[in-house]
Copies of this chain bind each other. A is one copy, B any other.
């Protein structure tokens, strides 16, 4: 007997027919003898409807009231799933964040989980009851409802799994697992049976939308095994999904496990900036103050060493704002010219095996060079290499890298 958390997103609970389908998944696990906590999102479209009402009420609104309004979508779904489970003969009850309680900080609209008391849930498990938990919500130190930000139900599921010491946290979604890369671009992309938390974290951060970044961070910190699997497929016939766990020795044989890409990039270059101490601070200080996240940074020194060109990337949605912030700071930065480009994409090679394998980056640069793909910027970490290239080459670059590391033939 195991204790498991099952999480279902908005499209999986879009109507009563879909909720019955979810209940069948839950029933299967209960009948297999497991103790089960289910975390649900709001019915598809419901959170958007509630957000729109708040915006119509006032464009700038109190985040505490926004949270009180939008959290109601999950209250509805958790109650409905409990009703359906009961009608199938399964003992179940709904839990809202404040009932558990799932305590958060006061950062309404994007709160972080501070503490979860799993005692009440565990006591009910012992009596054979399924816990149906409203995702995305908790209770602040001042007794107000606080939401965890969009995609927060993934985070709820992982945090609950940690609190009740679950053996596994299953994230049911509309895909059947995590792939070596986007199957829409590379036909031969393969579902990964297993990857590490760190790799998943890089993938989520680098544009793969299958899991919310914070949920993966939390799973890594608390060592919660995650399973990404399809809520639509028949669980008996369908593949079991992708297991995301702490690293183990089996994994070290694979150098690279996946290729990710992100189109949400924009590049800005400042030309002929006086190359003096403090120049980086003068450029990036104003951007940080404006809450604009800078990602890749490249600095070239001019021929005579007196000036430098600074190139960096930011999220595409911040492009106009960043240009305006820098224009305002022009007198302190003293650049000659500012040029920008939104037709860029970041392609990343990810794999924990890179740590112990030299030459992974060189292989990527060579392969891209052979296809005449120009690299505009590079960043690397222990387990990933990211390159910024012209957006027109996205598919070619992803396919090339997918092939050169042998991901088409992945067999583990």
A residues contacting B by CB (< 8 A) are: 16, 19, 50, 53-54, 56-58, 60-62, 64-66, 68-69, 71-73, 75-76, 78-80, 82-84, 86-87, 93-94, 96, 98-99, 143-145
Q: Return A210 CB to nearest CB of chain B, in Å.
A: 29
Per CB-CB distance, the 7 closest pairs between chain A and chain B, nearest first, are A69-B79, A58-B87, A72-B72, A68-B79, A57-B83, A61-B83, A65-B79
**Residue with the highest number of chain B CB atoms closer than 10 Å, among A57, A82, A144:** A57
A68 touches B78 (CB 8 A): yes
Contact of A16 among B57, B60, B65, B96 (CB under 8 A): B57
A53 touches B86 (CB 8 A): no
Contact of A86 among B16, B65, B80 (CB under 8 A): B65
Interface of A is mostly: helix
A61 touches B76 (CB 8 A): no
B99 touches A83 (CB 8 A): no
B84 touches A58 (CB 8 A): yes
Q: A58-B86, A84-B58 are in contact. Are A76 and B93 (CB under 8 A)?
A: no
Contact of A143 among B64, B83, B99, B143 (CB under 8 A): B99
B50 touches A76 (CB 8 A): yes
Besides the contacts A54-B79, A66-B83, A68-B79, what 13 more A-B pairs have beta carbons closer than 8 Å? A16-B56, A57-B80, A58-B84, A61-B86, A61-B87, A62-B93, A65-B83, A65-B86, A66-B79, A69-B83, A71-B75, A72-B75, A75-B75
- Shortest Cβ distance from A84 into B: residue: B57
Q: Could you jot down 13 A-B contacts, CB within 8 Å? A: A16-B53, A57-B84, A58-B83, A65-B82, A65-B86, A65-B93, A66-B83, A68-B82, A68-B94, A69-B80, A69-B83, A72-B75, A99-B144
